Amino acid sequence: MPDFDAIVVGAGPAGSAAALELARAGRSVCLLERGPFPGSKNMYGGVVYGRILDTLIPNWWEEAPIQRWVTRRATMIMTGHQALTVDYRTESWGAPPYNGATAYRPDFDAWLAGTAQDAGAALVCSTTATGLLVEGGRVVGVRTDRPDGDLTADVVIACDGVNSFLAKEAGLYGEVDAANYTVGVKETIALPREVIDERFGVRGDHGVDYEIIGCTGDVPGGGFIYTNADTLAVGLVLSLPALAAGGTRPEELLRRMKAHPAVAPLVEGGEVKEYSAHVIPEAGFDMMPELVGDGILVAGDAAAMCLAAGIWLEGVNFAIGSGAAAGRAAARALQRGDTSAAGLEGYRSRLESSFVLADHRKLRDAPHLVMSDLAQQKLPALACGVAERMFRVDNPEPKPGLRKIVRSEMKANGVKFRDAISQGLRALRTFG
Amino acid sequence: MSSAYPEVSFETRMGSVEFRVDADRAHITVDDTRCRDCSVRGCITACPADLFVPTSDGGILFNYEPCFECGTCYLVCNEEGAITWTYPEGGHGVVFHRT
């Protein structure tokens, strides 16, 4: 008899959702976490999209530890001295059922793990899974760093994060390429709540999400500013190969973004309370491992399910969606008494028929588009240049037509008409 | 103007992070005999905790203690076998609070 029906490695959103579904199905499940508490190893930009929680935890917003509800979502395109912002706001996202929320992962992940515990999952913290137990080519458990730490189960769900050594050990990953990854760095900056309200034009528990392109100098990437209750999350996401090729160091790029005239007044005077860094599986669909093996499923960042698609930066919802699907598929396989790869294959079809793989498949080209030289360097200069010319009054010269402005700004910024069309069509195919 | 935007020193930045250091075991080790042949040395600029320091004799000085456990170093490493990377023992290493 194995020790448990299922072992879930990693009590992040994917792991807790998987454990919750297994426990609800009446299965014995051990939820392993290497940190001293769930979320203690986890870091992200700062926004959770909660719609995926509606079916898992009805009225989740009454209990989830969130910081602010995002009612303003802004995309800023900047050059060294200019900024053009598209700023959408709606008060309806500040009321149930809400849309996005800022939250601290150590709070949020601990809460979600708590719901799995309440359902009957056994949460074991401060325990690192150091490897897989394999018998006859089939995963039958994990090794841990506890004394006598081998744990056996009919199925293991690897939710062990972006580096997923378990999925790699199981042979589910192809060659690992640094070009598929970015690193996120972030400062949590304390400011009085009323100062945040004033600077960002919000009240009460409403908050703001800024996503920024053109702010990462010689390293392809992007930036973000999110409002928590009494802190800001200010950070960058940076291409690993470009950093490694001698690009400017992350903290220096962050310092420069904070000093930009469009950002400095927002963050001025704040005290850095916590610095953090985490790797992101940026390439999404194109880097995903095999999701199913004999006795093992992979979910969340471990399966590269972070969506880094420029205007959409999501991960926690994909982790919860994939984790819950893994939990249900594992419960069904356990019920049938077949947790071989064939018996677990329902996981993949569940994902195929949900947003998890539908969005990733549709947007598979988006990470490449966003990281391209055109999007990173030329588009910000072009967009800001066009805005400058549109709004600048050059009397006694008459106003130029938009076509003339665009043509001259394209020329000034080295954007070829042919490239703009081909990249535009590519973007339309992806986002359209 | 400059007083409004005080620069955060790297020491202050890293001092804001909790690390429960495992004094008994380094979770990452660097065999810097291999680093001497490396023309890229991407770890030096890419490690967000700035833990890879070039030495005057062409090696790399590495400190595992204030490490985010992010994985950047082994992902960018150009020399097979130079970096041995594991997670710290359970309960040890970085502990985030408001991330």
Check CB contact under 8 Å for B40 and A245. Answer: yes
DSSP assignment, residue A55?
H
Shortest Cα–Cα distance, A329 to chain B (Å): 29
Nearest by CB to residue A42, choosing from B48, B88, B99, is: B99
Q: Is the pTM of this model over 0.90?
A: yes
Distance separating alpha carbons of residues A164 and A132, to the nearest angstrom: 12
B27 vs A contacts (CB less than 8 Å): none
Q: pLDDT of chain A along its 432 residues, tens only?
A: 999 999 999 999 999 999 999 999 999 999 999 999 999 999 999 999 999 999 999 999 999 999 999 999 999 999 999 999 999 999 999 999 999 999 999 999 999 999 999 999 999 999 999 999 999 999 999 999 999 999 999 999 999 999 999 999 999 999 999 999 999 999 999 999 999 999 999 999 999 999 999 999 999 999 999 999 999 999 999 999 999 998 999 999 999 999 999 999 999 999 999 999 999 999 999 999 999 999 999 999 999 999 998 889 999 999 999 999 999 999 999 999 999 999 999 999 999 999 999 999 999 999 999 999 999 999 999 999 999 999 999 999 999 999 999 999 999 999 999 988 998 999 999 988
User: Tell me: the pLDDT tens digits for A265-286?
Assistant: 999 999 999 999 999 999 999 9
Distance, in angstroms, between A386 CA and closest chain B CA? 30
Cα A281 from Cα A395, distance rounded (Å): 51
Write out A183-235 in H/E/C secondary structure: EEEEEEEECCHHHHHHHHCCCCCEEEEEEEECCCCCCCEEEEEEECCCEEEEE
| Cβ–Cβ gap A275/B13 under 8 Å | yes
CB-based contact, B25 to chain A, within 8 Å: no
ipTM score assigned to the predicted complex: 0.96
- Report the C-alpha gap between A275 and A268 in whole angstroms: 17
- Is A266 at the interface with chain B, CB within 8 A? no
Dihedral sign for Cα atoms in the order A91, A94, A97, A103 = positive
Contact predicate A160/A7, CB 8 Å: no
Test A244 with B97 for CB contact under 8 angstroms.
no
Enumerate domains of chain B plus CATH numbers: 26-87 (3.30.70)
> Which letter, b or e, does each residue of A45-80 get, where b requires 16 or more Cβ atoms within 10 Å of its Cβ?
bbbbbbebbeebbeebbeebebbbbbbbbbbbbbbe
Helix spans in A72-137 (H): 105-118
**What's the DSSP call for residue A143?**
E
Name the phi and psi angles at A335, rounded to 5: -60, -35
- Which of B46, B90, B99 is the closest to A106 by Cβ? B99
Give me Rg for the CA atoms of chain A: 23
Contact call for residues A194 and A70 (beta carbons, < 8 A)? no
Contacts of A124 (CB under 8 A, 6+ apart): A30, A31, A32, A33
DSSP A344: H
Residue B3 structure tokens = 């007083």
- pLDDT for B3: 43
Q: Which residues from chain A sit within 8 angstroms of residue B89, using beta carbons?
A: 128, 145
d(C-alpha A359, C-alpha A138), whole Å: 31
For A303, other C-beta atoms within 10 Å of its C-beta total 31
Q: Do residues A381 and A367 make contact, with C-beta atoms less than 8 angstroms apart?
A: no
- Helix (H) or strand (E) holding A17, with range, is helix A13-24
Q: Does B11 touch chain A (CB under 8 A)?
A: no
> How does pLDDT run across A21-50, given as a tens digit for each residue?
999 999 999 999 999 999 999 999 999 999
């400190």: which residue's tokens? B63
Separation of alpha carbons A374 and B70, rounded Å: 29
CB A85 within 8 Å of CB A74: yes
Residues of A in contact with B76 (CB under 8 A): 178, 240-241, 243-244
- Rounded CA-CA distance B83/A318 in Å is 31
Cβ neighbours of A216 in B, within 8 Å: none
CB contact B38 to A (< 8 Å): no
What are the CA-CA distances from residue A361 to residues A83, A167, A183, A288, A430 (Å)? 32, 21, 23, 11, 10
